[in-house]
Amino acid sequence: MRSLMLFMVHGSGEEVAHQPNQTSLFTDQQHQHHTSVKMKFSLAVAASMAASAMATPIWGQHWGQKWGNKQEEVAKKGPFKFTSTYEVKATPDQVVNATNAYTGGLAGASGLYKFGLNSDENVICYNITLYNFRGDYQSPASTATHIHEAAKGKSGPPRIAFPNPQPICDGVRRSIGCIQGTKDGFVTGVKNMTTGIDAGFGFQVKRIEDNPAGFFADVHSSLAVPGAVRGQIA
């Protein structure tokens, strides 16, 4: 599984103590500007390499901040090509357990999942925000934030695992990024007990586009292991 990464680099010159003539000042500031950009670019490259090693998908937060209700319009104007976009409102009352019994989830919690898919390249971009999530993340998968394959009121296997949202302010957590599946699909960390094959093996995001009602997004908590909140993609 590869992660797509974007780093925003801004450079600015530093103030100088002496007061040279205007031409000299411009030259010094220009030199400092390029030096600052080079240093920050080097730091960005180092951060990119470290993040790649950890296989943690990261994306510039500006994408999430601008992606509002007019998703299609924003997608067309932005640097990403999406073949479809979805906005999912996840609530506790939609959560079911393995026997398809409603559990009530984590009372008071909610979630907003925004997805942009590029089925031509098997890419899914995400902007996930959780409200009033409590407890620890808990799941047999590699993370506790997923897209599962199942119709409303039914349980099903995870097909894609996302980095768990992290706190950004009191009662709010967020995770933003993009993930590209390989020719072997995605890795969830949940394996078939008989075959040992990962639940995301061979998965293509085109399957979500073909039947969005057959998939749901959720997150799992130690206080609500079957699911804290859940929402059907359509």
Of 63, 53, 50, which is closest to residue 178 (Cα–Cα)? Answer: 63
- Whether the Cβ atoms of residue 138 and residue 220 lie closer than 8 Å to each other: yes
pLDDT one-digit tens code per residue, 66-105? 444 454 555 555 567 899 999 999 999 999 999 999 999 9
Reported in sequence order, the residue ranges of 53-120 that DSSP labels E, i.e. its strands, are 84-90, 110-118
- What is the C-alpha radius of gyration for the chain, rounded to an integer number of angstroms? 21
Q: At residue 131, does pLDDT exceed 60? A: yes
pLDDT one-digit tens code per residue, 154-194? 999 999 999 999 999 999 999 999 999 998 999 999 999 99
Indicate the residue type of 27.
Answer: T
Indicate the residue type of 202.
Answer: G
- Its pTM stands at 0.69
pLDDT one-digit tens code per residue, 10-41? 333 333 333 444 444 334 444 444 444 344 43
- HSE-up (13 A, CA, CB side) for residue 91: 5
| Structure tokens, 64 | 């999430």
Cβ contacts of 191 within 8 Å, gap of 6 or more: 197, 198, 199
User: What pLDDT score was predicted for residue 38?
Assistant: 42
Q: 62 or 174, which is more confident?
A: 174
| Structure tokens, 1 | 């599984």
Q: At residue 146, does pLDDT exceed 80? A: yes
Distance CA 209, CA 233 (A): 10
